C-alpha cells in the first residue's frame, strides 16, 4: 500500500514523544493509513453515498424485469336461463352452461416485439334441441407475434430503461469515488495539519525552554552583580509571550485532533481519547509532467466520467424521442390450432329433425386438447397495421427538448474539462513550488541556527545583549515552523494532486467493491 515513510531530518525533537498537553484519557497512536482506513469504513458521508450504487443496481434489475415473461390465468363460468319462445328450440326455457379456462404467456423480446402463447379450453352444455354435439368441448392453442417495424423498433429503443439504469449505476459509482477522493484528502489534510500543530507546539516548548534558560542565567548574573536588574525585564516578557504562544498552539492541536476524529468517526464507545499521529511528513521529490497529470486526470476524474456517461444518457433520450415520431407500422403473425370434441348425439335416420335420439358417442375435453396440441387443424395469418398519429407530425417538442438537453450536456462537459485542466495545472505547479519552498526554508532555518549560536557566543563575552539573543531565538523558532509548514504543504500538495487527477483511491489500495 502506498505509504509516506521517508524520514525528515530537520525536526528538532523526536517525533514519537508523547504530548505534554495530553490528559489522562486513553490515547491511540494512528498512522495516516490507519486514519484513512477508519474513515473509509466509518465516515458518514461515505456511508450515505454507498447506498446510491446499491439503489442503482436495483434499478437495473427492475428495468430488466420488462423482458421477463408474464404468466396469466383466467377462468370464466356462466349459467344462463331464458324463456323459450318456440317449442322447436326448447320445451319451457333455454338453459346454457358455459365455462372457459385460459392460460397465457406473454414475452417482450429485445427487438421491441411481443410474443404470446395461449391455451384456451371451453365447455358448452345446453338443453336446446336438434344439437349434434352436446356438451361441446373446445381447445385452442394460439401463437401470436407482433413486431414494430418503425416506432418502438430496435434493441436500443426497447432497452432504453435498462441502458439508462446501467449508466446511472456507473454514475453513482463515480460519485462514490468522488466522495472517497474527498474523504481521503480531508483525512490527509487534517492528519498533516495535526502533525504540524503538534510539532509547532514542540518547537514553541523548546523555544520557551531556551527563554527560561536565559532568564535563569540573567538571574544568576544579577545576583553576582554582573548584570543590571533592569536587563531581566526583556527575558521575563519573552517567557510570558512564549507561554501564551504555547496556550494557543495547544488549542490548535485539539482543534485539528477533533476535526480528524470527526472524519474518522469512530463507533460510539470505541475510542474517545487523544489521537497521536505517528507518521512523519515525507520529503522526497516526486516528478510528474503536466501532460502525464492531464492524461491521468482525464481518465480517472469521477466527475468527468459521470459527465460523459450523462452525455450518453442524453443521446439515448434523443434517439428514443426521434423514434417516437415514426409511424406505428407493425408486422403481425398469428398461428392457432383448434380442437373440438364432445358427446355426439345419434338420431334416427341421422336426422336431428326427427327428434328421435338413438344414443350417444361419448367425447371428452382431453380429446379436444389433444387435437389442439397435435396441431390437427392448422391456421395462420400475417398482416400489417399502420398507425399515423397526427401529433407527431404537428408537434416535435419532445425531440427538440431532448436535443437541447444533449447540447447542454455537451457544453457542460466541455466546461468541466477546462476546469479540470486548470485544477491539474495548478496542482502540478503547487507541487513543484512547495518542493522548492522546503529547500529555501531549510536554508533559512540553518542560517537562523548559526546566527543564534554566534550571538550566544558573543553574549558570553559581553559583546551582545539579551534582547538580541531572544530575538534570534524567536527567529529560529519561526524559521523551524516555516520549514515544517513547507514540508506539510508539500505533502498536502501531493495529496491534492492525487485527488485532482483521481488516483488517491488506487494509491491507498482501496477497492470500490470492498467499500460497497
Q: What secondary structure does DSSP assign to 90-115, as a single string?
A: -SSEEEEEEEEEEEEEEEE-TTS-EE
What number of CA atoms fall less than 13 Å from residue 107's CA on the CB side?
12
Query: Do residues 357 and 447 both lie within one domain?
Result: no
> Tens of pLDDT along 293-340?
999 999 999 999 999 999 999 999 999 999 988 999 999 999 999 999
Query: Do residues 353 and 208 both lie within one domain?
Result: no
Query: Do residues 250 and 122 both lie within one domain?
Result: no
Tell me whether residue 17 is in a domain. Answer: no
What percentage of the chain carries pLDDT values higher than 90?
A: 44
Query: Do residues 243 and 350 both lie within one domain?
Result: no
Local structure of 275: helix, strand or coil: strand
Spatial separation of the C-alpha atoms in residues 219 and 236, rounded to whole Å:
10
Query: Do residues 299 and 339 both lie within one domain?
Result: no
| Residue 440 Cα distances to 10, 19, 66, 430, angstroms | 13, 29, 67, 15
> Tens of pLDDT along 224-268?
876 677 767 777 887 888 889 889 989 999 999 889 888 888 877
Tell me whether residue 5 is in a domain. Answer: no
What does DSSP assign to residue 139? Answer: E
Closest CA to 102 of 77, 66, 127, 132: 77
Tell me which of 59 and 25 has the higher pLDDT: 59
Query: Do residues 504 and 470 both lie within one domain?
Result: yes
| 172: pLDDT strictly greater than 80 | yes
Tell me whether residue 502 is in a domain. Answer: yes
**Spatial CB neighbours of 3, under 8 Å, sequence gap ≥ 6:** 31, 32, 33
Q: pLDDT at position 449, please?
A: 87
Tell me whether residue 12 is in a domain. Answer: no
Q: pLDDT at position 7, please?
A: 30
**Spatial CB neighbours of 132, under 8 Å, sequence gap ≥ 6:** 344, 345, 347, 352
Q: pLDDT at position 179, please?
A: 92
What percentage of the chain carries pLDDT values higher than 70?
A: 90
Tell me whether residue 480 is in a domain. Answer: yes
Query: Do residues 303 and 174 both lie within one domain?
Result: yes
Mean pLDDT of 147-151: 94
Asked if residue 465 lies in contact with residue 459, where contact means CB atoms within 8 angstroms, the answer is yes
Tell me whether residue 392 is in a domain. Answer: no
**Spatial CB neighbours of 211, under 8 Å, sequence gap ≥ 6:** 235, 238, 239, 242, 470, 473
Local structure of 266: helix, strand or coil: coil
Strands (E), 256-389: 274-277, 328-347, 357-361, 379-387
Query: Do residues 235 and 348 both lie within one domain?
Result: no
Closest CA to 169 of 55, 46, 56: 56
| 47: pLDDT strictly greater than 70 | yes
Query: Do residues 43 and 180 both lie within one domain?
Result: yes
pLDDT band at 392 (very low <50, low <70, confident <90, very high): low
Tell me which of 212 and 23 has the higher pLDDT: 212
Tell me which of 231 and 434 has the higher pLDDT: 434
Query: Do residues 308 and 194 both lie within one domain?
Result: yes
Question: At which residue does the C-alpha cell 446501467 appear?
Answer: 166
Q: pLDDT at position 10, please?
A: 31
Partners of 70 in the β-ladder: 106
Closest CA to 277 of 193, 191, 205, 184: 191
Q: pLDDT at position 390, please?
A: 76
Q: pLDDT at position 39, please?
A: 87
| 148: pLDDT strictly greater than 90 | yes
Strands (E), 6-132: 27-30, 70-83, 93-108, 114-126
Question: At which residue does the C-alpha cell 446511472 appear?
Answer: 168
Mean pLDDT of 201-222: 80
Mean pLDDT of 203-221: 79
Query: Do residues 238 and 173 both lie within one domain?
Result: yes
Closest CA to 420 of 311, 354, 501: 501
Question: What is the average pLDDT value for the chain, to the nearest integer?
Answer: 85
CA dihedral of residues 268, 274, 280, 281 (deg, nearest 10): 70
Spatial separation of the C-alpha atoms in residues 130 and 94, rounded to whole Å:
13
Range of the domain at 381: 76-108+114-151+331-387
Tell me whether residue 494 is in a domain. Answer: yes
Q: pLDDT at position 476, please?
A: 84
| 404: pLDDT strictly greater than 50 | yes
Number of domains in the chain: 2
254 phi and psi angles, rounded to 5 deg: -65, -40
Mean pLDDT of 8-26: 38
Tell me whether residue 274 is in a domain. Answer: yes
**Domain containing 307 — which CATH number?**
1.20.1600.10
Spatial separation of the C-alpha atoms in residues 350 and 253, rounded to whole Å:
112
Query: Do residues 283 and 193 both lie within one domain?
Result: yes
Amino acid at each position: 500500500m502506498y505509504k509516506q515513510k521517508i524520514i525528515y531530518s530537520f525536526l528538532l525533537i523526536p517525533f514519537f514523544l508523547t504530548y505534554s498537553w495530553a490528559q489522562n484519557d486513553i490515547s491511540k497512536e494512528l498512522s495516516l493509513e490507519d486514519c484513512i482506513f477508519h474513515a473509509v469504513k466509518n465516515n458518514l458521508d461515505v456511508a450515505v453515498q454507498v447506498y446510491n450504487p446499491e439503489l442503482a443496481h436495483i434499478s437495473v434489475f427492475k428495468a430488466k424485469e420488462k423482458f421477463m415473461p408474464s404468466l396469466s390465468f383466467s377462468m370464466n363460468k356462466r349459467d344462463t336461463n331464458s324463456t323459450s319462445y318456440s317449442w322447436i328450440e326448447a320445451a319451457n326455457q333455454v338453459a346454457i352452461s358455459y365455462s372457459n379456462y385460459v392460460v397465457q404467456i406473454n414475452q417482450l423480446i429485445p427487438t421491441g416485439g411481443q410474443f404470446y402463447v395461449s391455451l384456451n379450453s371451453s365447455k358448452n352444455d345446453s338443453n336446446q334441441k336438434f344439437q349434434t354435439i352436446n356438451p361441446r368441448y373446445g381447445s385452442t392453442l394460439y401463437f401470436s407475434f407482433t413486431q414494430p417495424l418503425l416506432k418502438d423498433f430496435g434493441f436500443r429503443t426497447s432497452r432504453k430503461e435498462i441502458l439508462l439504469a446501467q449508466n446511472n449505476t456507473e454514475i453513482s459509482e463515480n460519485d462514490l469515488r468522488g466522495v472517497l477522493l474527498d474523504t481521503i484528502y480531508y483525512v490527509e489534510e487534517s492528519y498533516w495539519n495535526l502533525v504540524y500543530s503538534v510539532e509547532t507546539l514542540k518547537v514553541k516548548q523548546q523555544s520557551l525552554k531556551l527563554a527560561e534558560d536565559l532568564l535563569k542565567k540573567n538571574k544568576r548574573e544579577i545576583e553576582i552583580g554582573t548584570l543590571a536588574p533592569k536587563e531581566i525585564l526583556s527575558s521575563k516578557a519573552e517567557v510570558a509571550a512564549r507561554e501564551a504562544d504555547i496556550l494557543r498552539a495547544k488549542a490548535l492541536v485539539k482543534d485539528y485532533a477533533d476535526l480528524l476524529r470527526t472524519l474518522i468517526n469512530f463507533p460510539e464507545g470505541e475510542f474517545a481519547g487523544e489521537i497521536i499521529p505517528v507518521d512523519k511528513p515525507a520529503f522526497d521529490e516526486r516528478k510528474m509532467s503536466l501532460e502525464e497529470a492531464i492524461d491521468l486526470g482525464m481518465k480517472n476524474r469521477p466527475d468527468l466520467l459521470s459527465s460523459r456517461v450523462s452525455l450518453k444518457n442524453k443521446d439515448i433520450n434523443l434517439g428514443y424521442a426521434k423514434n417516437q415520431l415514426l409511424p406505428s407500422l407493425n408486422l403481425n403473425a398469428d398461428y392457432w390450432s383448434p380442437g373440438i370434441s364432445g358427446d355426439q348425439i345419434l338420431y334416427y335416420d341421422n336426422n336431428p329433425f326427427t327428434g328421435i335420439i338413438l344414443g350417444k358417442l361419448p367425447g371428452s375435453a382431453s380429446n379436444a386438447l389433444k387435437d389442439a396440441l397435435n396441431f390437427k387443424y392448422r391456421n395462420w395469418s400475417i398482416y400489417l397495421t399502420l398507425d399515423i398519429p397526427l401529433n407527431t407530425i404537428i408537434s416535435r417538442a419532445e425531440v427538440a427538448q431532448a436535443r437541447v438537453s444533449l447540447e447542454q450536456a455537451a457544453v457542460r462537459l466541455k466546461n468541466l474539462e477546462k476546469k479540470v485542466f486548470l485544477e491539474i495545472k495548478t496542482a502540478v505547479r503547487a507541487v513543484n513550488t512547495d518542493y522548492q519552498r522546503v529547500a529555501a526554508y531549510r536554508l533559512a532555518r540553518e542560517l537562523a541556527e548559526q546566527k543564534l549560536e554566534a550571538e550566544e557566543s558573543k553574549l558570553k563575552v559581553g559583546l551582545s545583549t539579551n534582547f538580541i539573543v531572544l530575538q534570534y531565538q524567536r527567529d529560529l523558532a519561526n524559521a523551524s515552523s516555516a520549514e515544517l509548514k513547507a514540508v506539510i504543504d508539500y505533502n498536502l500538495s501531493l495529496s491534492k494532486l492525487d485527488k485532482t487527477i483521481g488516483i488517491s483511491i488506487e494509491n491507498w489500495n482501496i477497492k470500490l467493491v470492498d467499500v460497497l
